[in-house]
Amino acid sequence: MKGLLTQVRSYERSVQLLMVNQFTINLGFYMLMPYLAAHLSGTLGLAGWIVGLVLGVRNFSQQGMFLVGGTLADRIGYKPMIVAGCVLRTLGFATLGLVDSLPALLAASAATGLAGALFNPAVRAYLAADAGERRVEAFALFNVFYQAGILLGPLVGMVLTGVDFRVTCLVAAGIFALLSVVQIRALPARRAEEAGRQRTDSAESVLAQWRGILANRPFLLFSVAMVGSYVLSFQVYLALPLEVRRLGGDGEFGTAAVAVLFGVSGLSTILAQTRVTAWCKARYEPGQALVRGLAVMGLAFVPLLMATAVPVPAAGMGLWLLAAVPPTLAALLLAIGTMIAYPFEMDTIVRLSGERLVATHYGLYNTICGVGITVGNLGTGAALDAARGAGMSALPWIALCALGLVCAAALYGLHRTERLAPPPAAEPLPATL
């Protein structure tokens, strides 16, 4: 931990603040969101389809507005969008805890999603700009703070929700309110040269900028190839818990085993991310690291695939081991694969953008990956249902392994053809009198 803090202090104040901000953002978000569905269906007594609608509106408003949020960040500035997102989430979380009418709940849910679309691209673009040549290492540290918030948030939320879910909402809103004030007072303004670049970009129409990004074929191919990494990593929240509960049941053992999944994923990243990144950077080019990260994520489901060949015990220690060990190994391998790929992934987006309109590129990238997650989860759910109906328990794990290896092969092709290299710098326009 001391070494981690030393690394953080080696960056300028803006980078340090962005890392702490991301931890706080995730702390506030994850102390509330895991318990929202239970509040809507239990405390408020809403029907299942309404609960799905409220949660779906949040996801849609975030994924659908990432491109707009990134564009606004490039045109208006990173700091204003970060502040606006935090203020909006303050209002959204407070509203979720104080209202019970469907229109108000939908509005609050949409506000929390839009908030993420405003500050997520801006935070990453700001971090990339101020970290400079140390972007890869900065994004590794950023992921440590990111995962720490995800790990601690649900624990804090569990305690607060035990008192009252409204308390959870108001505390989360208070965290974002405090965060808004800190951003306004402490987050440095953009440097003069970056402001000048923003004014140049602002002279170009938004549609022209979007057309230019959509014409960036290497960036689009990279974005599509990386979709698989997000589908695979999301299985820590979908397929792996379902597998644990399928074998271990919904009782105390199943709950504890699912908690172990999340703990292994978060703690391994907190403890090893910076070491893994340093090791990979010393040995691999960015494209090679990305290929290896995706390959590890695909192979993460091999323990589950192998477990399907083992007869399922009726009860006892054997059943518990079969229910807990393969999914936990899968969660650990997914975390390792993500640790390998993530810092180089974030850096590659900046390089493929030509370091111009970086937030807009991050916004479009997040939208593409968000759509991919939705489609991938539908496919995974269908595979899980088909496996149970047909007695083919290996089917979903084969499909997920194949997805990871196909995406790794696609990245290998992009790397070999040098499509992951930065685009050539545009020639300066001739001076006019």
Q: Tell me the pLDDT tens digit for each residue of 128-154.
A: 999 988 999 999 999 999 999 999 999
Which position has the higher pLDDT, 2 or 126? 126
| pLDDT for residue 192 | 38
- Tokens representing residue 166 in the block: 């409204």
Res. 429: pLDDT tops 60: no
The per-residue pLDDT for range 175-226, each reduced to its tens digit, is: 999 999 999 999 987 643 454 455 555 556 888 889 999 999 999 999 999 9
Res. 314: pLDDT tops 70: no
| pLDDT for residue 201 | 53
Would you tell me how many other CB atoms lie within 10 Å of the CB of residue 145? 23
Cα gap 114→375, rounded to integer Å? 21
Mean pLDDT rounded to a whole number for the chain: 87
- CA atoms within 13 Å, Cβ hemisphere of 412: 11
**What is the distance of C-alpha 349 from the center of its chain?**
15
Helices H, strands E: what count in the chain?
18, 0
Q: Supply angle C-alpha 26, 32, 38, rounded to 5.
A: 145
Using an 8 Å Cβ cutoff, are 150 and 131 in contact?
A: no
Residue for token digits 């909006």? 88
| pLDDT for residue 48 | 74
- Compute the Cα dihedral for 235, 398, 376, 379 and give only its sign: negative
Q: Taking Cα atoms as reference points, which of 119, 112, 113 lies closest to residue 81? A: 119
Res. 289: pLDDT tops 60: yes
Residue for token digits 């759910």? 381
Using an 8 Å Cβ cutoff, are 97 and 201 in contact?
A: no
The per-residue pLDDT for range 31-79, each reduced to its tens digit, is: 988 888 888 888 888 887 888 788 888 888 888 899 999 999 998 999 9
Using an 8 Å Cβ cutoff, are 301 and 401 in contact?
A: yes
**What is the distance of C-alpha 281 from the center of its chain?**
22
The per-residue pLDDT for range 88-137, each reduced to its tens digit, is: 999 999 999 888 889 999 999 999 999 999 999 999 999 999 998 899 99
Domains of the chain: 1-188 (1.20.1250.20), 206-417 (1.20.1250.20)
Percent of residues, the chain, with pLDDT higher than 70: 93
| pLDDT for residue 147 | 93
| pLDDT for residue 262 | 86
**Of how many residues is the chain composed?**
433
Local structure of residue 43 (DSSP, 8 states) = I
Res. 242: pLDDT tops 60: yes
**What is the distance of C-alpha 62 from the center of its chain?**
12
- Compute the Cα dihedral for 414, 416, 417, 419 and give only its sign: positive
| pLDDT for residue 431 | 42
